[in-house]
Amino acid sequence: PAPRTVLLTGAAGGLGTLMRGLLPAYGYELRLFDATPIEGEPDAITADLADHEALREAVRGVDAIIHLAGISLEASFDKILRANIAGTYNLYEAARAEGVRRTVFASSNHAVGFTPRPEDGDPLIPVGTPRRPDTFYGLSKCFGEDLSQFYWDKYGQETVSVRIGSCFLEPTSVRMLSIWLSPGDCARLFHAALTAEDVGHSIVYGSSANTRLWWDLTSARALGYEPEDDSEQYAAKLVAAHGELDPARHPDHAYLGGAFVTDPPRWPY
Ligand code: NAI
Ligand code: 15L
């Protein structure tokens, strides 16, 4: 049966807020979890991913989990270790103890951020491309993907790891035109990841059907995902403001991960 009750970790964040608005239309009852309190949501669980007891209670009785909580940009290794690496492990252990069968894990393009971006005529980046994290943040997403594979192989817990591009209301840079995931397409992709059969551990790229696409959406479409949006409507404005990407202008224009490849990251990305 399709999952009904879904734990949404990171529910107070940018993506969590967008998904709180969009996922109930698919029939899900969301249980919200975040270290930051959520105004107007008295039933939300306000707790840290380090709190084992709170996690056990949070996952008890849910049909599936969407795991968004964590640090979402580069930070010190200690911070990433605690929130993203140990935090994701803590969640999976709680899910194992309570028998939750499926998780959708918010991985990131930064797990493969040092992959050169395709030039015109190059093949799209496949899901099986070697991992080349561009930050400690990206490394933590590689860990999450490996953890997911391990929990599937060892315990039969399923995960769809979604390497999200840039999910915001609108793309805000020329790079984002290639990896933008519209909020509506994100909800469609998460719904597909929650309902597809026999996913084992699957890795998919998460973006809309952008004209300037850099990566291969085949594995996402295999889940039943049918993107409806394309960032191209924002292209003229962004290119007029920033110019086309040009590796000669800056090396970070040459990589999928954009400014995350530099130390420190060169914003905006
Ligand atoms: P965000 O930073 O807006 O939200 C993250 C949320 O996680 C925050 O509300 C924060 O309070 C919570 N959190 C952080 N550490 C926690 C902890 N130890 N315990 C409990 N809660 C904790 O990030 P955003 O943009 O909403 O991203 C959500 C997830 O999706 C993140 O895992 C991020 O890495 C991933 N992602 C997002 C992308 C995007 O374009 N928005 C792109 C690629 C990945
Ligand atoms: C990410 O992984 C971040 O969480 C998000 O804030 C954006 O920076 C996105 O990648 C991106 O690469 O644009």
Nearest residue to 9 (alpha-carbon basis) of 189, 166, 190, 179: 190
Which are the contacts of 11, defined by CB distance < 8 A and separation ≥ 6? 17, 19, 20, 30, 32, 33, 34, 38, 41, 44, 68
> Going by CA atoms, what residue is nearest to atom 35 of ligand 1?
106
Alpha-carbon gap, residue 168 to 154, rounded angstroms: 35
Model pLDDT, residue 195: 98
Active-site residue flag, 137: yes
pTM (global) more than 0.95: yes
The pair of structure tokens assigned to 186 is: 């994100």
119 C-beta neighbours (distance < 10 Å), count: 9
Model pLDDT, residue 264: 82
User: 260 with 135: CB under 8 angstroms?
Assistant: yes
Q: What is the pLDDT along the chain (269 residues), one digit of tens a residue?
A: 788 999 999 999 999 999 999 999 999 999 999 999 999 999 999 999 999 999 999 999 999 999 999 999 999 999 999 999 999 999 999 999 999 999 999 999 999 999 999 998 999 999 999 999 999 999 999 999 999 999 999 999 999 999 999 999 999 999 999 999 999 999 999 999 999 999 999 999 999 999 999 999 999 999 999 999 999 999 999 999 999 999 888 888 999 999 999 988 776 65
- Whether 269 lines ligand 2, by a CB cut-off of 6 Å, is yes
Taking the CA of residue 113 as reference, the ligand 2 atom at the shortest distance is 12
> From the CA of 103, how far away is ligand 2's center (Å)?
20
Model pLDDT, residue 110: 98
> Going by CA atoms, what residue is nearest to atom 14 of ligand 1?
70
> Going by CA atoms, what residue is nearest to atom 8 of ligand 1?
13
Domains of the chain by start residue, with CATH: 5-261 (3.40.50.720)
Nearest residue to 41 (alpha-carbon basis) of 14, 56, 20, 59: 20
Taking the CA of residue 82 as reference, the ligand 1 atom at the shortest distance is 18
> From the CA of 51, how far away is ligand 2's center (Å)?
26
Alpha carbons within 13 A on the beta-carbon side of 225: 30
SS3 of residue 183 by DSSP:
helix
Nearest residue to 58 (alpha-carbon basis) of 84, 30, 82: 30
Residue 168 DSSP class: S
Annotated active-site residue in 26, 28, 89, 137: 137
Model pLDDT, residue 269: 56
